[in-house]
């Protein structure tokens, strides 16, 4: 692309160069910001869900790996101690990788 510039005053040329430089800088800054954001996103992704099951009589609780379809209050078999229903008490997530300090 050929841009015909009216360079009657050197100030106009300086101004154009300055504006172009700013645009290039902004694009570059935007790209590095996106790359940084993507990096943080990838750092936070590796985590493991754990499901905590508790007996309704509160005499027994167990932890196991989260399975699809798990929700708090779901009945999960019977208690090995008293035979009462076991329900999912809570579900938590653990990061398997430490978050990078910025
Ligand atoms: Zn029980």
Break the chain into its structural domains and give their ranges.
9-45, 47-95
Higher-pLDDT residue of 31, 18: 18
pLDDT, one tens digit per residue, over 75-94 is 999 999 999 999 999 999 88
Beta bridge partners of 49: 93
> What is the Å distance from ligand 1's center to 8 Cα?
90
Does 99 have pLDDT greater than 60? no
Question: What contacts 24+ positions apart, CB below 8 Å, involve 57-61?
Answer: 57/81, 57/82, 57/84, 60/86, 61/89
User: 20 C-alpha to center of ligand 1: Å?
Assistant: 72
* Residues surrounding ion ligand 1 at CB below 5 Å: 55, 57, 59-60, 79, 81-82, 84
Burial class of residue 55, CB neighbours in 10 A (0-12, 13-18, 19+): buried
CA 28 – CA 22 distance, rounded (Å): 10
pLDDT on residue 30: 87
Supply 84's token pair: 């009462």
Note if the pTM is more than 0.85: no
Distance 82 CA to ligand 1 centre (A): 4
Distance from the alpha carbon of residue 91 to the mean position of ligand 1, in angstroms: 19
Check if the beta carbon of residue 88 is closer than 8 Å to that of residue 51. Answer: yes
């Amino acid at each position: 692309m050929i841009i015909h510039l009216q360079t009657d005053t050197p100030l106009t040329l300086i101004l154009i160069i300055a504006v172009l430089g700013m645009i290039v800088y902004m694009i570059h800054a935007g790209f590095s910001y996106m790359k940084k954001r993507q990096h943080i996103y990838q750092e936070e992704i590796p985590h493991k869900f754990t499901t905590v099951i508790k007996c309704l009589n509160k005499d027994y609780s167990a932890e196991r790996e989260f399975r699809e379809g798990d929700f708090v209050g779901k009945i999960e078999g019977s208690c090995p101690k008293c035979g009462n229903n076991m329900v999912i008490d809570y579900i938590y997530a653990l990061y398997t990788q430490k978050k990078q300090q910025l």
